[in-house]
Amino acid sequence: QVQLVESGGGVVQPGGSLRLSCAGSGFTFSTYGMHWVRQAPGKGLEWVAFINYDGTKKYHADSVKGRFTISRDNSKNTLYLQMNSLRTEDAAVYFCAKDWWRGLDYWGQGTLVTVSS
């Protein structure tokens, strides 16, 4: 069965950096695009970034452009999100999700990022 497991969340000071990982299994990771989606406490879903199956196309939300970078290593079946210059408003649960060309069909359970001094 498809599994997506995020890791790398934690507490970081404003201006700091963090790298999130998402390990995929149960499907051919290298043939699917992947997303990061976040959810601030008590708030709705916010799309963060997308990467296509081979990493040649990357798109980032305006709110994170220039600070966050999505990437993947298909040899390790792993998706990444490098987050730099973190702000208090970046605090959220970060989900990775598999793209199905018809929506996001599988989601991980999320990893919590807290930005606080």
Partner 1 sequence: SYVLTQTPSVSVAPGQTATITCGGKNIETKSVHWYQQKPGQAPVLVVYDDSARPSGIPERFSGSNSGNTATLTIRRVEAGDEADYYCQVRDSTNDHYVFGAGTKVTVL
Residue 55 burial (C-beta neighbours within 10 Å; 0-12, 13-18, 19+):
middle
How do beta strands 104-107 and 45-51 pair? unpaired
CB of 23 to partner 1, least distance (A): 15
- Is 103 or 117 the residue whose CB approaches partner 1 more closely? 103
Q: Which two tokens stand for residue 5?
A: 């497991």
From 1, 2, 4, select the one nearest 109 (Cα to Cα).
4
Cβ at position 75, least distance to partner 1 in Å: 26
Residues 34-93 contacting partner 1, CB under 8 A: 35, 37, 44-47, 50, 57, 59, 61-62
Sites of contact with partner 1 (CB under 8 A): 35, 37, 44-47, 50, 57, 59, 61-62, 95, 97, 100, 102-105, 107-110
